[in-house]
Amino acid sequence: MTESTPSDRSEAEQYWEARYQNTPKPWTGRPNALMARWSETLPTSTALDLGCSEGNSSVWLAQQGWQVTGVDISTTALTRAAQHVADAGVAERIDFQQHDMEYTFPEGQFSFVYALYLQSPVAFPRDTVLRKAARAVQPGGVLLIIEHASSPSWAPQMKQFPTPQQALATLDLNLDQWDTLFLGAPEREVTEMKGPNGETGVVTDNIIALRRKSGY
Ligand SMILES: C[S@@+](CC[C@H](N)C(=O)[O-])C[C@H]1O[C@@H](n2cnc3c(N)ncnc32)[C@H](O)[C@@H]1O
């Protein structure tokens, strides 16, 4: 992990670093459930986890035998991820890399590339980064993007989120070269937080799952 002083850091790095330092989350070791389900449909191979955070999904995937590259901007998140992977005894199957993906991106191609809620309240060229993610999928491989597509049902819907079709369009892909495995916006129960009066609720996620056709 690179050492940087606060003044060297981009706004994105300062924001995410402060967020992880100020809000240590208990380690669950639980992967994102949808990512886990998709991975089980694929032959065990290489994966790229974009915005891997503290490594819950990466570590789980490595425990299933995958060779995983996990990328994040936050030193604190990656330091915790490295500790978790060592505790889990699968360090040889994970390469955690620190990138500000606005500027740098991991080398190579992977059979499963996923971005789970890779969304940021500070400036982040997300469309450009997700186009790089698509290019990192090897022929025959799968790209999975899961993103917030609504506020929780208890909150005012202040923000306009893209539809799954709009989100797909921003990837700017030649869709002759990809099979769409899933494109939709299912609801899920919010488990990570409650409303101001202790309400439970639902939220919508856009899900895009694409397979790059062999030969492209
Ligand atoms: C909303 S969190 C999602 C984390 C995780 N994928 C999950 O599903 O829980 C977004 C993650 O992307 C990382 N991130 C934000 N901007 C980034 C950037 N420019 N380059 C690399 N990682 C970034 C953050 O540090 C954070 O861990």
pLDDT tens-digit readout, 49-93: 999 999 999 999 999 999 999 999 999 999 999 999 999 999 999
Give the H or E element holding residue 33: helix 33-39
C-alpha 140 to ligand 1 mean position (Å) = 26
**Which pLDDT score, from 0 to 100, does residue 28 have?**
85
Q: What is the mean pLDDT of residues 207-214?
A: 98
Q: What is the mean pLDDT of residues 10-19?
A: 95
- CB of 117 within 6 A of ligand 1: the answer is yes
- Please name which of 94, 92, 99 lies closest in space to residue 110, comparing C-alpha atoms: 94
More confident: 25 or 175: 175
- CB of 51 within 6 A of ligand 1: the answer is yes
Q: Which atom of ligand 1 approaches the CA of 32 most closely?
A: 8
Domain boundaries, the chain: 6-212
Alpha-carbon span 8 to 206, nearest angstrom: 34
- Please name which of 145, 142, 140, 113 lies closest in space to residue 127, comparing C-alpha atoms: 145
Q: How many Cβ atoms from other residues are within 10 Å of residue 145's Cβ?
A: 24
**b/e sequence 37-66, b meaning 16+ C-beta within 10 Å:** ebbeebeeebbbbbbbbbbbbbbbbbbeeb
- CB of 120 within 6 A of ligand 1: the answer is yes
- CB of 148 within 6 A of ligand 1: the answer is no
Residue among 30, 58, 71, 73 whose CB has most ligand 1 atoms within 8 A, to mutate: 73
Alpha-carbon span 117 to 146, nearest angstrom: 6
Give the H or E element holding residue 16: helix 11-22
Quick one: the chain helix, strand, coil %, rounded to 5?
Answer: 30, 25, 45
Q: Give the domain 6-212 fold.
A: Rossmann fold (3.40.50)
Give me the half-sphere count of Cα atoms (radius 13 Å) on the Cβ side of residue 181.
Answer: 16
Q: How many Cβ atoms from other residues are within 10 Å of residue 27's Cβ?
A: 15
- Which residue, chain included where needed, has tokens 């490295």? 82
C-alpha 60 to ligand 1 mean position (Å) = 18
C-alpha 73 to ligand 1 mean position (Å) = 7
pLDDT tier at 211, thresholds 50, 70, 90 = very high
- CB of 14 within 6 A of ligand 1: the answer is no
CB-CB contact of 110 with 48 (8 Å) = yes
Tens digits of residue pLDDT in 108-167: 999 999 999 999 999 999 999 999 999 999 999 999 999 999 999 898 877 899 999 999
Give the H or E element holding residue 211: strand 202-212
pLDDT tops 60 at residue 5:
no
Tens digits of residue pLDDT in 164-201: 999 999 999 999 999 999 999 999 999 888 888 898 89
pLDDT tops 60 at residue 23:
yes
Alpha-carbon span 71 to 104, nearest angstrom: 10
Please provide the DSSP assignment of 183-209 as one string.
Answer: EE--EEE--S---TTS---EEEEEEEE
C-alpha 215 to ligand 1 mean position (Å) = 31
Alpha-carbon span 136 to 133, nearest angstrom: 5
